[in-house]
Homo-oligomer: A and B are copies of this chain.
Amino acid sequence: MAGNSFGQLFRITTFGESHGEAIGVIIDGCPAQLDVDLEYIQGELDKRKPGQSKITTQRKESDTVKILSGVFEGKTTGTPIAMIIPNEDQRSKDYSHNTNVFRPSHADYTYQTKYGIRDHRGGGRSSARETAARVAAGALAKLLLKTQGIEIVAHVSSVGKIDAPNVFIDDANDFIAEREKNIVRCADPATAEEMIEFIDGVRKAGDTVGGKVSCYIKNCPVGLGDPVFDKLHADLGKAMLSINAVHGFEFGSGFSGSEMLGSEHNDIFLSGDEGIHTLTNFSGGIQGGISNGMPLEFRVAFKPVATIMHNQQTVDSEGNAAEISGKGRHDPCVVPRAVPIVEAMAALVLADHWMRNKVVKLQ
């Protein structure tokens, strides 16, 4: 109810503050007998961790995950899986300046007003550090989906006004390999270079910039998603919008679909050797809220990071005018580190609906 849980059958609950003892996650409902590849989970966390490159925050966290329960002799047992990531590089005094001052476009003011108290160190619970817990849980969800052949890949498709062209790499591993060749995580090498240069310039100017992540889900079977409120894209949308800094979500034809005619937009059904499929995919792989066997496709828009290295006008907790200048260690552009988070959240939605789909028919 307090909004720290996600999913119904494959359900996670995250906890922890940016500068507390540790952050972590409980995964409840993961089926028993799943092989837990801890190295894979750690690898996913490594893609999100701070200090990766010149275009990410310099905060140093090894983000080493530890499993406390629910796994026995390398396999899940059906009991809750607790994962914990200790906080290490907690320079909390970096944040003493914002105890009583509200940083613009941050959550300081709203948390303080809602709860009457807040852990102001590094954003506390509102810090994107919480997403490390999601990545750990999402990695487990990916392992579950991999047993069914379902693969999820995302990459940075735009930074500011720099857009990547569509990338056609069918194989999920190849796609990821290509994307991981550059520090901005764009699967188009030429655009990647342009993006990196741009972000670096923004960083040097003490500024930040937004961007977009595109995500593809391959080999998704027909039937995932529930009609009415829990449509597959509605749950994906909520998942993405719950990631820090996200301001928009679209799937399939998305916003541009609103400009089209029905005669252009309809996806004609064909049938062939691989069974029923559609000629085009404006539906983004989802019809009536349920996956139709085509690849899922969606895009997520991230606003620029709010912490900039400029002086900014603001108010303090007494409502007096104040000034604040950016301190601490922050990302000039959040999207390169957001790629594994988008994938993780997508995996959590898919794993949940894959389980939910097991009980809809009498068998």
Residues of chain A at the chain B interface (Cβ within 8 Å):
1-6, 8-9, 11, 13-17, 20-24, 26, 28-29, 31-34, 66-70, 72, 75-82, 84, 102, 104-107, 109-111, 113-119, 124-126, 130, 144, 147, 158, 160-161, 202, 207-212, 222-223, 225-231, 233-235, 237-239, 241-242, 247-255, 257-271, 275-276, 278, 282-284, 287-292, 301-308, 310, 312-315, 319-321, 355-363
Least Cβ–Cβ distance between A361 and chain B, in angstroms: 5
A111-B288, A209-B261, A250-B301 known; 13 other A-B pairs, CB under 8 Å?
A3-B228, A15-B81, A16-B69, A22-B69, A31-B361, A110-B289, A111-B290, A114-B290, A126-B289, A158-B258, A231-B242, A250-B255, A265-B303
Which residues in B have their C-beta under 8 angstroms from that of A266? 104-105, 306, 308, 312
Q: A241-B234, A255-B301 are in contact. Are A226 and B2 (CB under 8 A)?
A: yes
Contact of A262 among B3, B11, B116, B306 (CB under 8 A): B306
Least Cβ–Cβ distance between A207 and chain B, in angstroms: 5
Which residues in B have their C-beta under 8 angstroms from that of A261? 160, 202, 207-209, 304
Least Cβ–Cβ distance between A134 and chain B, in angstroms: 9
Give CA–CA (A17, B113) in the complex, Å.
39
Evaluate contact between A32 and B249: CB separation under 8 angstroms. Answer: no
Count identical subunits in the complex. 4
Q: Is the interface of A mostly helix, strand, loop or mixed?
A: mixed
Contact of A116 among B32, B258, B306 (CB under 8 A): B32
Which residues in B have their C-beta under 8 angstroms from that of A16? 68-69, 80, 82
List 8 tightest A-B contacts by C-beta distance, closest first: A107-B288, A3-B226, A3-B230, A248-B250, A208-B262, A110-B290, A238-B238, A262-B304
Give CA–CA (A269, B109) in the complex, Å.
9
Evaluate contact between B360 and A78: CB separation under 8 angstroms. Answer: yes
Evaluate contact between B34 and A362: CB separation under 8 angstroms. Answer: yes
Give CA–CA (A144, B251) in the complex, Å.
33
Contact of A105 among B3, B130, B287, B303 (CB under 8 A): B287
Evaluate contact between A310 and B17: CB separation under 8 angstroms. Answer: no
Evaluate contact between A247 and B238: CB separation under 8 angstroms. Answer: no
Contact of A247 among B241, B254, B313, B319 (CB under 8 A): B254
17 CB contacts below 8 A, A to B, read: A1-B9, A1-B11, A1-B28, A15-B81, A16-B82, A72-B117, A77-B124, A104-B266, A104-B278, A107-B287, A110-B291, A208-B263, A248-B254, A248-B258, A252-B303, A257-B304, A258-B302
Give CA–CA (A278, B108) in the complex, Å.
13
Evaluate contact between A4 and B28: CB separation under 8 angstroms. Answer: yes
Evaluate contact between A360 and B2: CB separation under 8 angstroms. Answer: yes
Evaluate contact between B292 and A116: CB separation under 8 angstroms. Answer: no
Evaluate contact between B13 and A26: CB separation under 8 angstroms. Answer: yes
Least Cβ–Cβ distance between A111 and chain B, in angstroms: 6
Q: A78-B114, A238-B238, A242-B231 are in contact. Are A320 and B271 (CB under 8 A)?
A: yes
Least Cβ–Cβ distance between A142 and chain B, in angstroms: 14
